[in-house]
Chain A
Amino acid sequence: MTIGFRQKLDALFTSISGLSVILMTAALVLVLGPILLKGASAVVFRGTVEFRQMQLELFGRGNVLDIQAETTEVEAARNEVYSIIDHFKKGIDADVQIKQARDIYREYGRQLRLRQIPSDKFTAWRQKVRKLRDALETAYTTSDEKEALEQLDFVLSQQNIPEVDDTAAGQYFQMARDYRKIVTEVGLDHKEEYADKFKQVEEIIKDIFGPRPGESTILMASEQFGMTRWDRTLFHLNRLLWVEEWVEKKPGEPLVKVQRPRVEQFAGTEMVKVFDLMEDNLQAMQHPKLTIYWQYFFDGDKTTGHFFGGVGPEILGTLLLTILSMLFAFPLGVISAAYLIECAGDNLVIRIIRTCINTLAGVPSIVFGLFGLAFWVPMISTISGNPAGSSIMAGSLTLAMLILPIIIRASEEAIRSVPHTYKEASLSLGASKLRTFVTVQFPAALPGILTGVILSMSRAAGETAPILFTAAVAVGGVPDSLFHGGTLALPYSAYNLAVGDVTGARVPHNQFGMVMTLVLLVLLLNIVAIVIRSRVSKKLLGH
């Protein structure tokens, strides 16, 4: 091989190994980038009027008068859509119509009774109106166009009978006129078809605007408000305007996804205007404004799927678990490290201890979870007298075992890096070994130990598997007692939102927001640790 060739090989090797470091950096950017960027959208986003209503109702934030004024404005814009929808609904929804006809009939009877009409007349009049009602009902339920028109014409022919003057039954004629128009314009063949399609439209609009004013039956807390965010509003607008269909383009080939305008389904009806209105006028109906929701990190969330509110309880739960586990592991870890360095020689017992520390560090985190379930959970239940179950105490004791070896190793390294001269100077002044350690070595090693402690805190905060069976719950809050009841925690909630397809897909900003909060917490701890360490290394080097 010539020297030139060998030098080229050398350069090639250098660049390949450099590439691996670049790839690693790229991996870091690739992983953190989307999490932090998209996660930020949980805090900074364009909030709609629904968001401000939600903040007011759930957390009492914002100016009541302003929000009421805004709501009135928005309602005005929305009412245009609602009125078209209601009108169209009347045409296609037989049940609504029949119910209305029956209500009118009942009201008619009440009115007659109030007028104190003699009983024979009362029955006769009622029978006449009853005929009108039955005719209308038949018209609404039948799918035969001719029959429907016949019945409606019969109703309309009775317009001038004296029995209905100045009574509720007068409304029957308006209903009949409306329905006649629909039957002649739309035809009854498509009625059923429209009913299904219309229901979809109605549901999407409800997703966007939330329950209508005055609507009393709200089944789920998640339906309390409409879309609180403009990006989600646009997502649902897209759902409203386009229908996804799987079409077979050529026989035998896999189906292809095609998007068709939904408006096609309602061509020729008044509903067309709804789509135009929604597309052009949605800003006025939702009032998007740039919002910085810094309370995201403090607010709780009462819905199971994190639809409203923030990650406050999760942060609190995670901090509780982390700090408690640190309280257990820190003293044990530092004392162990001190003993291993200062007192222990290199004999069999010490080697066994060291092997055990290494083993502890190598135990898979899920096995810690199993152990916590088999040992700490029953133990905590025996001590506190509560029924066996998840508790913050069980979780943090399990986490403490997990971080103990990390603290021992970091503390050992920190104590070892204190120059020997410190110790020798102290001993030569007559201080005892214990006194030397407590007053000289330990303070000098403290920043290094703190670095290890902070790093193991970040480890404890991010671990999911150990708290899975011992402390974490998917729904709820932070319990009042350390010994009873599981807690929300960032890693577990992040997992739940990521894999819970249905709920998760409804709140993508929250999926990312949850992970972002966890990553920020861990990064913050790490950066603090890195800064402390760089200062310490400078100090110990004597700069």
Chain B
Amino acid sequence: MANQTPQSTKVADFDRPLLLTPGQDWGNYLINILGQALLFLITSLSVVAVLLIFFFIIRKALPFFLKHGVMEFFTSTAWYPEGSPAEFGAGTLMAGSLYVTVGALLFAVPGGILAAVFLSDILPFKARQIVKPIIEILAAIPSVAYGFFAIIVVAPWLQKHLGLVTGTNIFNASLILAVMAVPTIISVAEDALTAAGRELREASLALGATRAETIIKVMLPAAHSGIIAAIILGMMRAIGETMVVWMAAGNASQIPTPWWNIFASVRTMTATIAGDMAESPEGSDHRLALFAVGLTLLAFTFLLNLASEHFLGRSRGGGKGRKK
């Protein structure tokens, strides 16, 4: 008898009605709809955030463009915000950003893609588990630590061994930005290469191609959308970076002469915003001009982002298409 009691409680207990009343049914339906609406509202906060960012940056940048015109800002290379009359030509700043970004990509793209190929196609699974955290930590090191390394370690080294006037220059900033952009490039490119599928590799190898030939002639073309997206994302990382260029690019508002002089100091858009903010009084034209620089930066990264999404979408869609 004592043994039977616990067994009997295990039997399912149907004391609640199995059918819902119409009221309950409606109630559940309403709760479901309302809940979904609430969740939707919370999710769309990201949209609100993006709109707010655009709205508030434009609100401050617009008076500047209305007052000083768009042409001077984009074409002139004279950035003398405290001069009289003040000149707001962001040409040098954009050139500065361009220099360090292109410089960083020159280092990061070959290195990043080769490393991605090595990770996805050459390294055995176990070794990959060791290398991946290294990439992650490389990506996680704060930008100010990279900037610190650039200014305290790299700059004096460059000055001493290459006999430069200043160690904070395009080369230094590009080098460090490349190290920062490489993890992004590797992870996106590796995803694209992995997503391109096993069949392609096996088919190519079966035809007698070596591994290098397979990778260069088959895998890289097949994954090219994802690789382009990787490069764009790496570029965004480099162009939007503030601390490293502020500390390591030298902050000299100039266009290098001659143009290939990679040991010249430049000043980027991000560094200008960070550096000038403390010197510009609230509401002054100078402050508004910094918002205009910020808007340019924002617009630029927005476009790059759309492009990267386009390529990423193609990379995913293309992979599906081939499988059919």
Chain A positions within 8 Å of B, measured between CB atoms, are 6-7, 9-10, 12-14, 16-21, 23-25, 27-28, 31-32, 34-35, 332, 335-336, 338-340, 343-344, 352-353, 355-360, 362-371, 373-375, 401, 404-405, 408, 432-434, 455, 458-459, 461-465, 468-469, 491-492, 494-495, 498-499, 511-512, 515, 518-519, 522-523, 525-526, 530
Specify which of B42, B145, B148, B301 is in contact with A363 (CB 8 Å cutoff). Answer: B301
20 extra interface residue pairs, beta carbon distance < 8 Å, beyond A24-B135, A362-B304, A366-B273: A24-B115, A31-B149, A339-B40, A355-B309, A358-B305, A360-B46, A362-B233, A362-B236, A363-B50, A364-B297, A364-B301, A369-B274, A370-B57, A370-B291, A371-B53, A455-B140, A465-B270, A495-B144, A495-B243, A495-B247
Q: Which residues of B contact A525 (CB under 8 A)?
A: 140
Q: Distance (Å) between the CB of A314 and the closest chain B CB?
A: 12
Using a CB-CB cutoff of 8 Å, which residues 1-54 of chain B contact chain A? 28, 32, 35-36, 39-40, 42-47, 49-50, 52-53
| A518, B49: Cα distance in complex, Å | 29
Q: List 22 A-B contacts (CB under 8 A).
A: A7-B210, A9-B212, A10-B212, A20-B111, A20-B114, A27-B138, A34-B149, A355-B306, A360-B46, A360-B53, A366-B273, A367-B240, A368-B53, A370-B290, A374-B56, A462-B141, A462-B143, A465-B143, A468-B277, A495-B144, A511-B148, A515-B148
Q: Distance (Å) between the CB of A406 and the closest chain B CB?
A: 12
Q: Are B138 and A367 in contact (CB under 8 A)?
A: no
- Which 3 interchain pairs have the tightest Cβ spacing? A462-B142, A364-B240, A13-B212
Instruction: Say yes or no for B59: interface residue by CB 8 A criterion.
Output: yes
Q: Which residues of B contact A16 (CB under 8 A)?
A: 114
Q: Are B212 and A23 in contact (CB under 8 A)?
A: no
Specify which of A6, A19, A465, A495 is in contact with B213 (CB 8 Å cutoff). Answer: A6
Q: Which residues of A contact B106 (CB under 8 A)?
A: none
Closest to B215 in A: A13
| A493, B308: Cα distance in complex, Å | 35
Q: Distance (Å) between the CB of B23 and the closest chain A CB?
A: 17
| A19, B114: Cα distance in complex, Å | 9
Closest to A497 in B: B148
Instruction: Say yes or no for B134: interface residue by CB 8 A criterion.
Output: yes
CB contact under 8 A between A404 and B49, given known A336-B42, A465-B274: yes
Q: Distance (Å) between the CB of A465 and the closest chain B CB?
A: 4
| A217, B298: Cα distance in complex, Å | 53
Closest to A469 in B: B277
Interface of A is mostly: helix
Closest to A342 in B: B39
CB contact under 8 A between A360 and B297, given known A17-B114, A339-B40: no
| A14, B216: Cα distance in complex, Å | 12
Q: Distance (Å) between the CB of B269 and the closest chain A CB?
A: 8
Q: Which residues of A contact B85 (CB under 8 A)?
A: none
Q: Are B210 and A10 in contact (CB under 8 A)?
A: yes
Closest to B152 in A: A498
| A27, B277: Cα distance in complex, Å | 33
Give chain B's interface residue range (CB within 8 Å of chain A).
35 or more
Instruction: Say yes or no for B266: interface residue by CB 8 A criterion.
Output: no
Q: Are A464 and B216 in contact (CB under 8 A)?
A: no
Q: Are B270 and A366 in contact (CB under 8 A)?
A: yes
Specify which of A14, A25, A367 is in contact with B294 (CB 8 Å cutoff). Answer: A367
Instruction: Say yes or no for B151: interface residue by CB 8 A criterion.
Output: yes
Q: Are A13 and B216 in contact (CB under 8 A)?
A: yes
Instruction: Say yes or no for B249: interface residue by CB 8 A criterion.
Output: no
Q: Distance (Å) between the CB of A128 and the closest chain B CB?
A: 65
CB contact under 8 A between A17 and B118, given known A366-B240, A491-B144: yes
Q: Which residues of B contact A338 (CB under 8 A)?
A: 39
Q: Distance (Å) between the CB of B289 and the closest chain A CB?
A: 12
Specify which of B42, B147, B148, B212 is in contact with A335 (CB 8 Å cutoff). Answer: B42
| A401, B60: Cα distance in complex, Å | 20
| A408, B141: Cα distance in complex, Å | 21
Q: Are B144 and A494 in contact (CB under 8 A)?
A: yes
Instruction: Say yes or no for B119: interface residue by CB 8 A criterion.
Output: yes
Specify which of A35, A339, A360 is in contact with B39 (CB 8 Å cutoff). Answer: A339
Closest to A508 in B: B152
Instruction: Say yes or no for B160: interface residue by CB 8 A criterion.
Output: no
Q: Are A374 and B43 in contact (CB under 8 A)?
A: no
Specify which of B42, B52, B60, B304 is in contact with A339 (CB 8 Å cutoff). Answer: B42
| A401, B44: Cα distance in complex, Å | 13
Q: Distance (Å) between the CB of A304 and the closest chain B CB?
A: 16
Q: Mark B273-290, 1 if CB is under 8 A from A, else 0.
A: 110010000000000001
Specify which of B114, B239, B302 is in contact with A359 (CB 8 Å cutoff). Answer: B302
Q: Which residues of B contact A362 (CB under 8 A)?
A: 233, 236, 240, 301-302, 304-305, 308
Closest to A400 in B: B49
Q: Are A21 and B273 in contact (CB under 8 A)?
A: no
Instruction: Say yes or no for B228: interface residue by CB 8 A criterion.
Output: no
Specify which of B28, B46, B247, B273 is in contact with A498 (CB 8 Å cutoff). Answer: B247
Closest to A7 in B: B210
Closest to A374 in B: B56
